[in-house]
Amino acid sequence: MIIADKILREYRITEKAADLAANLNQYTFEVAPDANRKEVARAVAKVFNVEVTKVNILNKKPKLKVDRMRRGRPGTKGGHKKAIVTLKEGDAIELV
């Protein structure tokens, strides 16, 4: 059983994501770190009632940053996993 709320964390709203949605029918989501392509496709299909044709997964690794408030000790800036989901021609996701 797929719990879509655990897999799909949030919709990514950027200029590039808006351009992909308008022109190529692709939508960008931040997903759980342990999610794979099939789980993401099933979760999107279940939540939005659309047919998914392709899923691309990208892992953004955390960056090391020097924290001046802690006397120069390094800290990390969070990484995340995102998925670019391509939908079948004619399907769309309405996001307010």
CATH number of the domain where residue 80 is located = 3.30.70.330
In a domain, 96, yes or no: no
Beta bridge partners of 92: none
In a domain, 94, yes or no: no
Total number of domains in the chain: 1
Euclidean distance between CA atoms 26 and 24, whole angstroms: 5
Q: Which pLDDT value is given to residue 95?
A: 77
More confident call, 90 vs 76:
90
In a domain, 92, yes or no: no
| Residue 50: domain span | 4-87
pTM of the model: 0.84
Is the pLDDT confidence value at 87 over 80?
yes
